[in-house]
Structure 1
Amino acid sequence: MDDRGSGSVRVLHVDDDARLLELAATFLEREGGFEVTTTTDVDEALAILDADPVDCVVSDYDMPGTDGLAFLSAVRDRDGDIPFILFTGKGSEEIAGEAIAAGVTEYLQKESATEQYTVLANRIENAVSKHRAERAARDADERRKRMLERVTDAFFSLDRSLRVTYANHRAAEWMAHDGDAEGEQLVDLVPGAAAAFVERCRLALDERRAVTFEERVPGGDGNRWVEVRAYPDDQGLSVYFRDVTGRKERRRELERSERRFRGIFLEHSNPMLLIDPESGAIENANHASAAFYGYSRAELRSMNIDDINTLPPEEVARRREQADERDREQFRFEHTLADGTVRTVEVFSSPVPVGDDTLLFSIVHDVTDRNA
């Protein structure tokens, strides 16, 4: 098991001088509390790395059959970013330059005094701490990306110049981007909606507040509607969006249906009422209702059906319960008009959806003369 994330620091020290290895291990274990494994053989060192990964490699430069930079290359093939400290007595600007170019973490020349091991311990501790912090940040970023790839919303993040720093696969599909969108400007990725997107995203960044909006954007089968939610942070902007084309179309169709219904409702020759089935409040009344009852439409909308019914409230409640048990009901009532006249009416009622509510759509027929 690779437990390099634990508190202990395991060091592999490779040098062809066995006496120096023993001395260095003693100081490193005492000075830094490290767990030190030593070897004079590069092949054995690689076998140790394969069997039990460590937190840091310390290596001499000049060793029989190889050198520290060739060993570094072999280590990097196994672990691309493990801290590697070249601790050598063969120091020169040329070797130091080669080591830095090869990607060595630290370059440290051996000294005769034992204080060099205190310096080495500090270099190891700093290199491992930095490496662990970078790895933790990468792991957290990878977890976040895996989570964002699983969400159904398209997601991308922007820096403060509105350049894409990450886009999940759904966002890449919307952007019609074949490769990695990272580093691209938003205005170049969504040209069909660039002006609206840039304006609103810039607003969220400048005012440091979340914004939500709907916008038409290019899609694989033509223009589509998306709902966009953008959240600013210190690094830039996190943007989520989802396809709401179907919802928009359903909403438009519902609005068209409601407009047709309102047109038919308002102009129909029979009195018609929309009533809240729970409270009995009259939510709407057509022109024929105003003419029949003698109240204006505004007055009717401020009234309750019980203001018109002459039946006792318990009988009205009983009939409402019966109406709730069936989809369509027809009842006979006594309704009082504005001038005090009482008329016998038959009310044909049916529940209808109106917006987010369900109201009782009632058609009123005056049958007073029929019973005379």
Structure 2
Amino acid sequence: MSNQENLRDFEDFSFSSTTDSIHALHVDDDRAFVGMVKTFLERKREEIRVTTETAVEDGIETLREGTIDCVISDYEMPDQDGLDFLELVRDDYPDLPFILFTGKGDEEIASEAITAGVTDYLQKGTGTDQYTVLANRVENLVEKYRAEQEVFRGFQALESAQEGIGILNEQGEYVYLNQAYAEVYSTDREEILEDHWESLYPEREADRFRQEILPALESAGTWTGQSVGLTIDGERVTENLSLTQLDDGGHVCVVRDITDEKQREEELRREQRFLETALNSLNDLFYVFDEDLNYIRWNDQFEEVIGYSKAEIQELTPMDLFEGETKAEIEASVPHKAC
């Protein structure tokens, strides 16, 4: 059947429609043929846009310059054939859909193409049915490729996350965790994978999980709070923990080591208690106010002498404790913040 007859049959040629656009690159040294394929695919499949080239070198250049979702290539071409093209594509785009669309139906070529990493192999035929098949292959392969890329990007995000992220199955065994998760417990992920979560917690904390946390997770679908884990060396780890229930009975666990933060908080509390004890042991009055004349610290002796409670002192300024000429003299001597 001639190209003109194929185009006349085009009125009866139709495809289903999808919403995402697809940019395909078709390389074939037959300029009339690639033009016809482009026409067939684009007219009835609005989401497909085809760029055509007649040489492998030009195809590689187009591939590097634009965003291509799928490559379609002939086998027999001057200078470089379709397998040469496939090898060049695979060097930079190892997973990009590549369809060898050729009139040469040789089993040896098909075997070589599969070995070289071709995604699909389609033999040219007659009539418009071959373009229906080609369009379906392009659509299905691109859909699969995009889904795989989406999963890959998701795992990249998990792997690069600063928080530890783990996924447990219904039995409570780890089926996935990123490196940050393993580092919380000072180990490698291989040491935790397929282990039960109980191996990372002291017995008392594991009891708390079984009696309180997991029932709350099952009831609400999520749980967030603090817990105490164990490193591989038996050291205790204070952690912020977020759990999310999965439909299959497992759950996602996001963990962050806050041991250092809790230690700093405890050190600050100890310093605060020491300072308060030291100030309250003074027989003299001690107080500090800021540039707005608000009291920010005082000792017990100060409270006893002026006779006000803590809440009342917070509402006072030093000027409120004086009257008459004394108050005026003090106000004149105290620098005020410019308005």
For Structure 1 versus Structure 2, the TM-score category normalised by the shorter chain is 0.5 to 0.7
TM-score (ref. length: structure 1): 0.55
Match of 1:155 among 147, 164, 184: 164
Does 1 or 2 have the higher relative contact order (CA < 8 Å, sep 6+)? 2
Match of 2:81 among 67, 74, 77: 67
Residue 193 of structure 1: aligned partner: 201
Residue 177 of structure 1: aligned partner: 187
Q: Residue 177 of structure 1 aligns to which amino acid in structure 2?
A: T
Alpha-carbon RMSD across the aligned residues, in angstroms, is 4.4
Q: Residue 74 of structure 2 aligns to which amino acid in structure 1?
A: D
TM-score (ref. length: structure 2): 0.60
Q: Which has the larger radius of gyration?
A: 1
Are 2:240 and 1:231 equivalent residues in the alignment? no
Match of 2:56 among 26, 38, 42: 42
Q: Residue 165 of structure 1 aligns to which amino acid in structure 2?
A: Y
Identity fraction in percent: 34
Higher helix share: 2
Describe the superposition over 1:245-270 as per-residue Cα deviations: whole angstroms up to 9, x where unpaired: 66379679989x99xxxxxxxxxxxx
5+ unaligned residues in a row in structure 2: which ranges?
A: 1-18, 274-296, 312-339
Q: Residue 119 of structure 1 aligns to which amino acid in structure 2?
A: V
Q: Residue 25 of structure 1 aligns to which amino acid in structure 2?
A: K
Match of 1:241 among 252, 256, 268: 256
Q: How many Å separate the matches in 1 of 2:51 and 2:229?
A: 62
Describe the superposition over 1:91-131 as per-residue Cα deviations: whole angstroms up to 9, x where unpaired: 24444344334332222111112221122122212222332
Say which SS state the counterpart of residue 226 (structure 1) adopts: strand
Say which SS state the counterpart of residue 329 (structure 1) adopts: helix
Match of 2:303 among 312, 329, 341: 329
* 1:115-130 pair list within 5 angstroms: 115-130=129-144
**Aligned-pair distance for 1:183?**
8.1
* 1:71-220 pair list within 5 angstroms: 71-143=85-157, 146=160, 148-149=161-162, 154-160=163-169, 162-167=173-178, 169=180, 171-177=181-187, 184-187=193-196, 191=199, 193=201, 200=209, 203=214, 207=218, 209-211=221-223, 212=225, 214-218=227-231
Residue 58 of structure 1: aligned partner: 72
**Aligned-pair distance for 1:13?**
0.9
Q: Residue 183 of structure 2 aligns to which amino acid in structure 1?
A: E
Describe the superposition over 1:54-83 as per-residue Cα deviations: whole angstroms up to 9, x where unpaired: 221101123334432332121122222222
**Aligned-pair distance for 1:237?**
1.8
Match of 1:17 among 20, 23, 30: 30
Q: Residue 187 of structure 2 aligns to which amino acid in structure 1?
A: H
Q: Residue 81 of structure 2 aligns to which amino acid in structure 1?
A: D
Q: How many Å separate the matches in 2 of 1:15 and 1:9?
A: 19
1:197 and 1:75, CA in 2 relative to 1: closer, same or farther beyond 3 A? farther
Paired residues of 2:28 and 2:77 also in contact (CA < 8 A): yes
Describe the superposition over 1:105-164 as per-residue Cα deviations: whole angstroms up to 9, x where unpaired: 222111112221122122212222332343344445545655x32xxxx42221415225
Q: Residue 166 of structure 1 aligns to which amino acid in structure 2?
A: L
Paired residues of 2:98 and 2:118 also in contact (CA < 8 A): yes
1:124 and 1:54, CA in 2 relative to 1: closer, same or farther beyond 3 A? same
Describe the superposition over 1:348-367 as per-residue Cα deviations: whole angstroms up to 9, x where unpaired: 88769xxxxxxxxxxxxxxx
5+ unaligned residues in a row in structure 1: which ranges?
A: 1-5, 259-323, 333-347, 353-372
Give the length in aligned residue pairs: 260
1:192 and 1:114, CA in 2 relative to 1: closer, same or farther beyond 3 A? closer
1:229 and 1:50, CA in 2 relative to 1: closer, same or farther beyond 3 A? closer
Higher strand share: 1
